[in-house]
Structure 1
């Protein structure tokens, strides 16, 4: 250790017992605790800020922390009482429903559907009631074949079909999509279709005819009536969407209006919903068609009467499901083409708007170049406009010289800016052209190599 450092270490101020702790320097920063910022409108802080009323969930309008969120959750959980356990409400389905009997009479019960009664009477499993208990807007189309009943769920109606009756659930009691008049019209249409199918089956007394009474029992007629209404509704919506989109496309070629874009967005969403529901129902029918046991189990009347049907003997049910599966496939293909068209239109509108933004950007750059040149001339003119004595006031040629110099400077600045702007734009175009040429060259090279290899193989053979 050098002598100077050794003496420095022996000084009393460096001993440990003489050290003093100095307060940390403050730089004026306010310490803020980390918080969990929730972007939802239903956050306690957001609700408190909107209502302005004090609440226990959000004492302040600032973003609440996760600890506060969990504390509020625990507090709300501790307030649960045995009075909240209402099994009667959970054991019932609060929906609007009617019962169509075998002789096509319509019954309108006033009591709610009890799940235990449905399970015991129609031979269903508890998981099969999920479709009946769901909201009509959240129902996924499905077709379930049980021991003594068939459960069909479509966006139009939900039904439990047996050998002598059909329970039709049209809408929830709080669902605004179907009124009492609409429900009555749906039931009337179902009854008319079933009556026509019964008359047609009665006219064909030959047992070998698929439309004979033996192969067209009550359950298949009820199933066909609901499938017919659902398929007709899908087709009508698809045709309406096509007319709506085809009437909007010619207007978008000339100008892009906010109202037209809003209509196009609504049509796109409606097309996606229609395509989703149609494909789900088609998938449900295809699933049943792929199982011979389910097709044979659809003849519930014969099972109740004690007749046994072979697993392969399901021609009428198979033809029925195949027909509507094919019709749904055609409607889904039309909706799929319409959806692709809407996506292409959306891409074209995006490219048009991007081109407009590019032109506006170029105009902005050109204006900036012109203003830069004008500002350079204005600076020189401002200096001479200060009326300071500089000895050039009496010179008859100096005014023309300064004016010419200012114009020349402005021209040079404008020329330099314009040249750089054109060079940058051309460099982007050349880079894009070279990229496309390289890609096309690679494709051509690959094609030539493939052709060369093919010719060599053919020559060897």
Structure 2
């Protein structure tokens, strides 16, 4: 494809994308929960500009949590009076008295979202715990993320474990393809888990962000020391350790898969070497038979050798041909057996390297011919 054709194709794709855009792209679907934990709106349509003005956000902040824009890196953004959370399937805006959930476009896991919404609503209504409103919302969000990671971890572990058990009994091309597919899926899952852990660790390392996440106290004007955030730190550390355990389990499964791949490759190499050795043995046997046939061919020519009238010439030549064939075949197989011997060192070389131990000069005996 020439440069001109590439430019034309890019222009056509761009024009199609621009024509496909509608005014609804300026809208976001949101589910809003009030200060009492009640749902005010389910999957309502809201303008981006209205959301930015109401919650004092920048447009770039909403781009981070817009599910139609690819964003694989989990983020927890601390803004004035709000916390923006974008982790896995959760895209939420948490305030001191409101939680805004941004619905995921094209999401097929409605059950997971329904369970999360039910748990969030129940947790926000439970005021007896003493935790602030925003902490209960963040706890529900992180608990849903942790549940999603654990569910996917169990699913991948069962898939990989079953396939590894099958490889112990039989090795074929289809199982190797499945193992490659599961390995890629496991690597992607481990990467997601590590990114979630890094997002939590980044918040834990910033005292300013931890202090800014006390939204209820800031709204009520309660003075706080910057380093008094033990409650929130314990909450985030708990989920960070849980995610770390999941990531470590994924690493262990990945190491097990890699070990299995290496063992299977060794088995296949051993079988391949056995087939090559069989082919060499057949070739050596054929060479031996060919050598014996050479002698028989020499006497098969229509030339007089004065051995035609000898009574035992046929038996002697047959024995000679067989003996030469066996000798050549035996020599070749013996040489092949010597070459196939695998060791960490060559015994002959080790014997050659064995020298007389060196004795220090003061311990030697002096003779008339010198030191010995």
Q: Tell whether the structures are fold-level matches, with TM greater than 0.5.
A: yes
2:86 and 2:347 map into 1 onto residues whose CA distance is 55
2:315 — aligned with what?
400
1:272 and 1:411, CA in 2 relative to 1: closer, same or farther beyond 3 A?
Answer: same
1:350 and 1:363 map into 2 onto residues whose CA distance is 20
Query: Pairwise mapping of residues 157-236 of structure 1 onto structure 2 (< 5 A)?
Result: 157-173=90-106, 178-179=107-108, 182-183=109-110, 185-200=111-126, 202-203=127-128, 211-212=129-130, 215-217=131-133, 219-236=134-151
Does structure 1 retain, via aligned residues, the 8 Å contact 2:120–2:137? yes
1:352 and 1:80 map into 2 onto residues whose CA distance is 49
Residue 123 of structure 1, aligned match among 56, 59, 62: 56
1:251-292, Cα deviation, whole Å (9 max, x unpaired): 433432344434433332232222111111111111111112
What is the total number of aligned residue pairs between the two structures?
Answer: 348
1:413 and 1:273, CA in 2 relative to 1: closer, same or farther beyond 3 A?
Answer: same
Secondary structure of the residue aligned to 2:228 is coil
2:163 and 2:9 map into 1 onto residues whose CA distance is 51
User: Is 1:276–2:191 an aligned residue pair?
Assistant: yes
2:68 and 2:347 map into 1 onto residues whose CA distance is 55
What root-mean-square deviation, in Å, do the aligned CA atoms of Structure 1 and Structure 2 show?
A: 3.5
Give the C-alpha shift of residue 381 in structure 1. 3.9
Q: What are the ranges of 5 or more consecutive residues in structure 1 without an aligned counterpart?
A: 1-43, 45-67, 204-210, 437-461
2:39 — aligned with what?
105
User: Is 1:154–2:87 an aligned residue pair?
Assistant: yes
1:99 and 1:390 map into 2 onto residues whose CA distance is 112
87-96 vs 346-355, which moves further: 87-96
User: Larger relative contact order (C-alpha < 8 A, sep ≥ 6)?
Assistant: 2
2:59 and 2:65 map into 1 onto residues whose CA distance is 11
Does structure 1 retain, via aligned residues, the 8 Å contact 2:66–2:102? no
1:383 and 1:407 map into 2 onto residues whose CA distance is 15
User: Is 1:429–2:355 an aligned residue pair?
Assistant: no
1:78 and 1:99, CA in 2 relative to 1: closer, same or farther beyond 3 A?
Answer: closer
Does structure 2 retain, via aligned residues, the 8 Å contact 1:248–1:264? yes
1:189 and 1:331 map into 2 onto residues whose CA distance is 21
Give the C-alpha shift of residue 245 in structure 1. 3.5
1:122 and 1:356, CA in 2 relative to 1: closer, same or farther beyond 3 A?
Answer: farther
1:93-114, Cα deviation, whole Å (9 max, x unpaired): 6876533344421523464x65
275-284 vs 402-411, which moves further: 402-411
Secondary structure of the residue aligned to 1:145 is strand
1:151-179, Cα deviation, whole Å (9 max, x unpaired): 21222222222334333234324xxxx33
Q: What are the ranges of 5 or more consecutive residues in structure 2 without an aligned counterpart?
A: 351-372
Secondary structure of the residue aligned to 1:151 is strand
1:368 and 1:93 map into 2 onto residues whose CA distance is 76
State the TM-score, normalizing by the size of structure 1: 0.65
2:146 and 2:12 map into 1 onto residues whose CA distance is 49
Give the C-alpha shift of residue 307 in structure 1. 4.2
1:77 and 1:257 map into 2 onto residues whose CA distance is 43
Secondary structure of the residue aligned to 2:286 is helix
1:267 and 1:136, CA in 2 relative to 1: closer, same or farther beyond 3 A?
Answer: farther
Does structure 2 retain, via aligned residues, the 8 Å contact 1:160–1:168? yes
2:60 and 2:285 map into 1 onto residues whose CA distance is 74
Does structure 2 retain, via aligned residues, the 8 Å contact 1:295–1:317? yes
